[in-house]
Amino acid sequence: MLKGFRDFILRGNVIDLAVAVVIGAAFTALIGVFNTALITPIVNSFFDLLGLSKDGIGGTIGLPGDQVINIG
């Protein structure tokens, strides 16, 4: 079993995996900034243009047994 692990390490797959993790983390951060800087302001201005407030969207759903689901 240890020989197989050693062969796996020496083949370079670990380095490929590490590079993929770093690229994935960078891409996640990039998409988060893109969403915060561009998409969210566009959506908010669209809601303002229609006269809707962000707080006015949503509601509650009553369930049996005095349970409530809050939406929004």
pLDDT digits (tens, 9 = 90+) for 7-57: 877 787 788 888 999 999 999 999 999 999 999 888 888 877 776 666 656
Residue 30 has a pLDDT of 94
Measured from the Cβ of residue 47, the count of other Cβ atoms closer than 10 Å reads 14
Tell how far CA 20 is from the center of its chain: 18
**Overall domain count for the chain:** 1
Q: Which amino acid is at 54?
A: K
Are the C-beta atoms of 57 and 72 separated by less than 8 Å? yes
Alpha helices in the chain (DSSP H): 2-11, 13-34, 40-49
Residue 47 has a pLDDT of 75
Tell how far CA 3 is from the center of its chain: 39
Q: Which domain holds residue 54?
A: 2-71
